[in-house]
Amino acid sequence: MWFDVFAVRMIVELLLFGALLVGVYFLLHMTVLKLPRCTAATKLHGKTVIVTGANTGIGKTTAIDLARRGARVILACRDKGRGEAAVQEIIQETGNKQVIFMQLDLASLKSVRSFVDNFLKSEPRLDILINNAGVANGGKTEDGFGMMFGVNHLGHFLLTVLLLDQLKESGPSRVVTVASKAHEMGKVDFNCLMTHRDLVPGNSDYEIFQGYCHSKLCNVLFTYELAKRLEGTEVTCYSLHPGFIKTELGRHATSWWNVLLNTVSLFSVDAESGAQTTLHCALEQGIEHLSGHYFTCCAPVLKINPKARDDAVAKKLWELSESFCGLS
């Protein structure tokens, strides 16, 4: 009898504790994790936008919003099947038939150049470039660079540089690069880049985590340096933290990295919420004077980590990236 009472009491306490956890989780989602929305009323009829990695996650959600505003939207994706399927879904959802798939593999500098050649031959203007695609796994690119350095930074670097003339001719125009708060844990080791063509020397689970953080710092530094080089033009640029989002970022990751991502996902929001700061940077009027800034929650971060504003590192990263891409 005593055991039965004890067991019932334990069950009740566990249920109450579980209810408390659910309540805290719900409260977090309604407060801390509920991200602000982009309020820009900007219409994009007659404008052309490129979104990399637009067949899934926040890239796809971003493309849907831009298509609803009337833009001609180029889905720049590696997987042809998934990219073309996303095109049909976006057309059906928005009624905008000016949604086009163009193949782009950011892990191949040859593919980046081919994409740009095809784009420039078929499209007379470019108003917004959204560098959204990203990976969180080890391995090497086609050109022998670390996968995260090659895709998250170097591929987008080359893509942006090769499209700058088109962006300038179409101005006012914007470049928006999806970074991450993880950049605060990153660094740029130029010795490692020169010896390993990567941001980390190996592919252990911890090094993959480090490499991801380092690559996101590269995104922020790239945007910072790009803004300097665009002074006097009608092209502005922004980097951003989208929030902790439920995406397919870790679909090729190792088990340890997936455990980390799945744990974070317990406190994450959906792709629609995650796309809002991207949309804000792409569409909000009156932020041109903030070119080069890093945004989160649809607002600029005014007290950013000093390493994300290191002029010498940003310049050296740009010059080394030019060298790696064969631009210098």
Yes or no: say if 89 and 63 are a contact pair by the CB < 8 Å rule: no
Q: Is the peptide bond before 36 cis (omega within 30 degrees of 0)?
A: no
Q: DSSP code of 151?
A: I
Nearest of 109, 125, 135 to residue 219 by alpha carbon: 135
Token pair of 318 as six digits = 């740009």
Residues in the chain: 328
Whether 212 is catalytic: yes
CB atoms closer than 10 angstroms to residue 194: 9
* φ and ψ at residue 297, rounded to 5 degrees: 50, 40
Going 61 to 210 to 77 to 52, the CA torsion angle's sign is positive
Tell me the C-alpha distance between 277 and 294, whole Å. Answer: 10
Of the residues 25, 206, 212, 224, which is catalytic? 212
Q: Are strands 235-241 and 294-296 parallel, antiparallel or unpaired?
A: parallel
CB atoms closer than 10 angstroms to residue 10: 10
Tell me the C-alpha distance between 244 and 266, whole Å. Answer: 9
Catalytic residues: 212
